[in-house]
Chains A and B, each alone.
Chain A
Amino acid sequence: MANRRMNELLPRMQLQDDLADVFGNLVDDVLGTRGFAATYPGVNVWEDGDNAYVEAELPDVTMNDIEVDVMGDQVTIRGQRKIPDPPQGGTYRRRERPEGAFSRMLQLPWEINPDQVEAKLQDGILTVRLPKSESAKPRKIPVQPS
């Protein structure tokens, strides 16, 4: 298994391999491992001129569990992921999925227009569109003849 950085979201790993997971471990070694980033959730950020987009992987979370705040040039994504208790008579044999509170703050190179921020959550992917504020957009300055 890959080394995974300890943080509060580290799942309660149960290292008792009740399901003989020999094959599983082999696969882990051969294939790309997607361990935890130092922070959760991992984010990707890109821009298309007038907007920046922040995307985060938040599977099995609802919009009610997520909060997106914008202030100045900063955007904060925070929330809570709950892993339900096993159903009656069931026991967790393996716990890898992270659980608990998370928060990511990102600073963009320019001011955000907070009134037109849009966030959507689909298939466990949070996408936030962050339009540049008017003052941050490039402006053409007419040159007056003297």
Chain B
Amino acid sequence: MSEAAIQKNENQAPAPERMEQTTYFTPLVDIIESGDAFIFNADVPGARPEDADISYDNGVLTLLARAKPRQPQNVAYLWQEYEVGPFYRQFVIDTPVDPNGIRAELRNGALTLTVPKSESAKTHKIQIKGA
């Protein structure tokens, strides 16, 4: 199974193509916080690692996964409950994080982002000395 490790690139500010007449869908996301990281799990069915564009800029984490059409445009649906299109969502993280340590992985239509907290924000366990 392939993996996408996406590093932050400061010069590539997120520039979603808002000008296009495209409907963006909001992916459902679970967020786990631990002492040293946030983990984002997002449902992006149909998207592959090469379709994903993840960035973090100044406290804003941007998820973009361009799920591509799977059927010809003129397919005659007998029944249709959903449309296929790009998934897009942003989160503001007000805890200092380490942008260079952000890791992304996409498999089985689910995106996992690990966002490590910066050293200052990590939970530090304090050893208590006895007398």
Contacts and interface: CB of A to CB of B under 8 A. Distances in A.
Given A20-B94, A44-B80, A123-B45, A33 B26 contact: yes
Contact of A89 (B24, B35, B47): B35
A72 interface: no
A125 B45 contact: yes
Contacts of A109: 78
A143 interface: no
B82 A57 contact: yes
A43 to B, nearest CB: 6
The range of chain B's interface size is 35 or more
Nearest to B44: A59
Contacts of B89: 24, 27
A97 interface: yes
Interface in B14-34: 23-34
A18 B24 contact: no
The range of chain A's interface size is 35 or more
A125 B70 CA distance: 10
A59 B43 contact: yes
A112 interface: no
Contacts of A32: 23-26, 85
A44 B81 contact: yes
A116 B25 CA distance: 35
Interface in A69-105: 83, 86-87, 89-98
29 contacts: A11-B30, A19-B38, A19-B93, A21-B92, A32-B26, A32-B85, A34-B26, A34-B28, A42-B81, A43-B81, A44-B71, A44-B81, A45-B78, A45-B80, A52-B78, A57-B43, A57-B45, A59-B45, A59-B109, A83-B30, A87-B32, A89-B34, A90-B39, A93-B31, A94-B29, A106-B79, A108-B78, A124-B44, A124-B109
Given A34-B26, A59-B43, A125-B45, 11 more contacts: A11-B28, A27-B26, A31-B26, A32-B26, A34-B25, A34-B28, A61-B108, A87-B34, A90-B33, A125-B46, A125-B70
Interface of B: 23-35, 38-39, 41, 43-48, 60, 70-71, 75-82, 85, 88-95, 108-110
